[in-house]
Amino acid sequence: MTNASYPNTRMRRTRASSWSRAMYRETVLTPADLIWPLFVTDGKGVEEPVASLPGVSRWSVDGIAKHAKQAFDLGIPCVALFPNTQPNKRSDDGAEAFNPDNLMCRAIKAIRDACGSDIGILTDVALDPYTSHGQDGLLDDSGYVLNDDTVAVLVDQAVNQANAGADIIAPSDMMDGRVRAIRMALEMNQHPNVQIMAYAAKYASAFYGPFRDAVGSGGLLKGDKKSYQMDPANGDEAMREIAMDIAEGADSVMVKPGLAYLDIIWRAKQEFHVPVFAYQVSGEYALIEAGAAAGVGDRDALLMEKLLAFKRAGCSGVLTYHAPRAAQLLNG
């Protein structure tokens, strides 16, 4: 730091006009920094608003394709898919996850038909949208989530999605060793260019409630996920998780949730110098919507300030349900 003193240095000098503020701006947000999460449901021509996520709906496969085209038109480079699997297709072992005609695979193919290779498709790998108990993996008799048995199933799920045309596999399950297993399986199944964005630091957070409503697992969940998702009190542990996922073959890493963990994003970027993404999760989105509705502040200003904070902390991009509105604002 320089030994600046007043009046030689006036910090307000470069803030005096809009052109100057733009020229000195340290952090820039563009539509290319956004990933839009989309929820898929059964049927045709279906839109089901998610009550706990104002402005967000589940769409049938045909609607998903239209929204992917909208994303491309807005300059958003990638969409993330999450299925709302019907109860009669859920099971204790989550076998629907590796059905080549499941909702996820049909949505991938519909987007490919509509958009070709113009937009990236990120797919979630975990069993909670497919299990009857709402946990991310297979259970033993005591209800404990089995690590290695779950990893074997996740590999089949990941290859199934890659075969359907996914560009980025995003394991969100937090099982140990799953990144290496998935990377090896992708290589062995002729998918060397399919990326892995690992949910490397996924915390056992209170901010996930609306998401679980959207995918239909909230009312099914038995117990909690604290035996595999991280303790919100831990930062050093997150660095160990991130280091392991990078070593196992992750192309990028994700921190989830986002805003309450900006310190983790900053540390990860400073320590590992790899692409770091944040998931602005459903509870964070809902709080912005509720705050704006209550008159706390202007909705657009609130959402843009928070997205900019992710970039300033070191994010290469952000998964956010506000992606289309943010892109509209950024495009002018």
Which residues are the active-site residues? 202, 256
DSSP 3-state of 317: strand
Which amino acid is residue 323, in one-letter code? Answer: A
Both ends of the chain: CA-CA distance in Å?
36
DSSP 3-state of 219: coil
How big is the chain, counted in residues? 332
Which amino acid is residue 217, in one-letter code? Answer: S
Side-chain half-sphere exposure of 60, counting CA atoms within 13 A: 7
Nearest CA among 325, 329, 279 for reference residue 70: 325
| 278 strand-pairing partners | 255, 318
What does DSSP assign to residue 144? Answer: P
Report how far residue 280's alpha carbon sits from residue 307's, in angstroms, rounded to the nearest whole number: 8
Which amino acid is residue 237, in one-letter code? Answer: E
Report how far residue 76's alpha carbon sits from residue 140's, in angstroms, rounded to the nearest whole number: 41
Angle between helix 299-313 and 282-293 (nearest 10): 150
- Strand ranges in 97-231 using DSSP code E only, listed in sequence order: 120-125, 168-171, 195-202
| 256 strand-pairing partners | 202
Which amino acid is residue 145, in one-letter code? Answer: V
**C-beta separation of 69 from 109 below 8 A:** no
**C-beta separation of 303 from 288 below 8 A:** yes
